[in-house]
Structure 1
Amino acid sequence: MRLAGKVAIVTGGAGGIGRGIALAMAKEGAHIAIVDINEENGKKTLAEINERTEGALFIQDISVKENVEMIVKETVSHFGKIDILVNNAHASRNVSFTETTMEHFDLSFGTGFYPTFHFMQACYPELKKTQGKVINFASGAGLEGQPTQTSYAAAKEAIRAISRVAANEWGPDGINVNLISPIALTPGVEQWRDNNKEAYDAMVQKIPLRRLGDPEADIGRTAVFLASDDANYITGQTIMVDGGTVKLR
């Protein structure tokens, strides 16, 4: 029970990687506030979490600053504190560089970068009290400049930039800020795999460990580590949980 008594906000926690992280943290004793726009999946994940820990909470929507402030207040009102912030939610569209429009940037920054920034600001007073942990998300799309990922890559690298700034500024407060850059077999990837078997197999062959990560067992367990006391001396880092695909220098 490495996170016993800890309170975590997990954005995008209704499905995919966010669900995996929420379940992994709940298994280690954390109380979870799931934040997601998908109410149906959110309530399903809430039920799963409540089988592992008592008092989980589902809060819908993260799209605007006012909602973020409300979510933080509701979480503190329900649980009494915030120890862990996981900024996982992000949506984007894949189009070529020349076809990328401001609407694509608005979607990617509006669902990924700005909520991450606003949640970090809104949670800072609570995280300072608890000497808490922030876990944000990077991507190989930004680190390697993957084709058709212009708006997504830009937002992810912007998240990496502000994470490093916060790690420097908040370190004296005892707050750790790190990033995970994952490759995971989410439901969306499973659907794509079923319709594009050859492309999927080719992608897997480029991963040194020859598989995609499990959202709970691989990505979730890494998040548990970064949220635990075992990671107290790690901050400002991008942790590659991608089977060895990208090797940072």
Structure 2
Amino acid sequence: MTKLQDKVVIITGGAGGIGSGIAKAMVKEGAIVTIVDVNEETGTAMEKELQAVSPQSMFLQANLLDREILGQIITTVVEKYGKLDVLVNNAHASKQKTLEDTNQEDLDLSFGTGFYPTFYLMKAALPYLKESQGNVINFASGAGLEGHETQGAYAAAKEAIRGVSRVAANEWGKFGINVNLISPIANSPGVEAWAKAQPEYYEAVKNKIPLGRFGDIEEDIGRVAVFLASKDSQYITGQTIMVDGGSIMLR
């Protein structure tokens, strides 16, 4: 018996980057994973990779900017598998701009792909998570915790996610539901793009990581997500887990 045997998991943004690392780590622990992503090509490819380990896992194509379909994602998974154990809200898109240059469109993109899907998927999943006494894993960022330059829209949405996650942890604890956040640093496509856009800032951040490297999406970030989705974390809720090599040490 593995840590997540037969647990039904939804991971948004699961076709690539950190989401794919979490999906790979979870299927190896026995989970049945549904990855939700807007990219059909990468989603289909990842579905095949996951099914080689967990045959029941699947890919759902969805644009999270369309709020009308968010509830459908939850019901589709529950109708197929009969339950929902874990919701991982990983997807998030944003543009890097100074606050001076950030406009409403930039805010709408960040909140529309990050905060709003997180909020509405949590609400839609609640009845089923009550039944399973399940887990929610959301994502924070050092950009919000420390206020990284050119990350205004992204940081604002990430801190909003942290706030609503703490509220949910307080309100849903009585149902046996754990709600936690991961704040990662990893070699994701987003970090690679950031490195190209701001190489000096990237190197400065990397050099300050006490463990001396950026994390691996599966072995470092994915394994922590497995922990938070398992019984091993049953007495942890409302916490921001810094999976960043020691870059930010919360007090």
TM-score relative to the length of structure 1: 0.96
What is the percentage of aligned positions where both structures have the same residue?
Answer: 60
User: Which residue of 2 is the match for residue 145 of structure 1?
Assistant: 147
Shifted more, 233-242 versus 199-208: the winner is 199-208
1:98-117: per-residue Cα shift (whole Å, max 9, x none)? 11111111010000000000
CA offset at residue 205 of structure 1? 0.7
Query: For residue 37 of structure 2, what is the aligned residue in structure 1?
Result: 36
* Distance (Å, rounded) in 1 between the aligned partners of 2:127 and 2:183: 26
Identify the residue that residue 165 of structure 1 maps to in structure 2. Answer: 167
CA deviation after TM superposition for structure 1 residue 195, in Å: 8.1
Superposed displacement of residue 69, structure 1? 1.0
Are 1:97 and 2:99 an aligned pair? yes
Q: Aligned match of 2:133 in 131, 134, 137?
A: 131
Kindly state the Cα deviation for residue 191 of structure 1 after the two structures are TM-superposed.
5.5
Residue 22 of structure 1 corresponds to which residue in structure 2? 23
Residues 1:126 and 1:225: Cα distance change in structure 2 (over 3 Å): same
**Where do 1:1-249 residues align within 5 Å?**
1-61=2-62, 62-190=64-192, 193=195, 200-249=202-251
Gapped runs of 5+ residues in structure 2?
none
User: How far apart, CA to CA, are the structure 2 residues paired with 1:11 and 1:41?
Assistant: 13
User: Residue deviations 1:114-147, cap 9 Å, x none?
Assistant: 0000000000000000000000000001100111
Mean CA deviation greater in 157-166 or 52-61 = 52-61
| 1:32 to 1:147, Cα distance in 2 relative to 1, 3 A | same
The aligned amino acid for 1:153 is A
Alpha-carbon distance in 1 for matches of 2:217, 2:155 = 21
Counterpart amino acid of residue 245 in structure 1:
S
* Matched positions, count: 249
Deviation, 1:192, is 5.5
Gaps of 5+ in 1: none
The residue matched to 1:24 in structure 2 has which SS? helix
Q: State the 1:52 CA deviation.
A: 1.1
Q: CA deviation at 1:31?
A: 0.2
Q: Which moved more, 1:26-35 or 1:179-188?
A: 179-188
TM-score by length of 2: 0.95
Deviations 1:22-65 (A, max 9, x none): 11000100000110001111111111111111211111112222
Q: After superposition, what is the alpha-carbon deviation per residue over 1:182-239, rounded to whole angstroms, capped at 9, x for unaligned?
A: 0000134346557876654333111111100000000000000000000000000000
Counterpart residue identity of residue 107, structure 2: F
- The DSSP-based 3-state class of the residue aligned with 2:94 is coil
Residues 122 and 44 of structure 1: CA distance in aligned 2, closer, same or farther (over 3 Å): same
Aligned partners of 2:21 and 2:218 also within 8 Å:
yes
Deviations 1:1-33 (A, max 9, x none): 100010000000000000000110001000001
Write the distance in 2 (CA, Å) between the matches of 1:213 and 1:151.
24
